[in-house]
Amino acid sequence: MAQRPDAGKQSHWLERIRRWQRSQMTVRAFCRSNCVSEASFYSWRRVLRDRGLLEEPTPSKDSADARAFLQLTASAVAVTGSPIELVLNPRRLLRVRPGFDADLLLELVRLLEEPAC
């Protein structure tokens, strides 16, 4: 016997997925920031789409051309000096050599320090 859809869960997930659509975040980033499993997100998105409750926006040219990876290049600049060691927690040590891009380092530390759900 098929289960009847839970209207409360359905409306909760519908609102959550609409927030994701407005956020312009990746599914992974949105799920992490909202402590939601990606599997549940994709499952509910499919269910809501199948029920005709969710319209998927058509991808724009910009989003189709968006890159999933950040391209990094290494320069052949000789830098002398001692590396900096950042102890992020008892199990994480980040060693940074002189000449490292400060903005990239800041982004890396933010990613490593994101709270786990």
Q: What is the DSSP string of 15-26?
A: HHHHHHHHHT--
pLDDT at 101 over 60: yes
Q: What is the pLDDT of residues 42-88, one digit of tens each?
A: 999 999 999 999 886 655 555 545 556 667 776 666 667 788 887 77
Full-prediction pTM beyond 0.95? Answer: no
Query: With contact defined as beta carbons under 8 Å apart, do 42 and 62 qualify?
Result: no
Q: What is the pLDDT of residues 17-47, one digit of tens each?
A: 999 998 888 999 999 999 999 999 999 999 9
- pLDDT top residue among 111 and 69: 111
Predicted confidence band of residue 1 (pLDDT cuts 50, 70, 90):
very low
Return d(Cα 27, Cα 108) in angstroms, integer: 19
pLDDT at 113 over 80: no
User: Domain residues of the chain, as ranges?
Assistant: 7-57, 71-112
pLDDT given for residue 79 in this prediction: 61
Return d(Cα 51, Cα 49) in angstroms, integer: 5
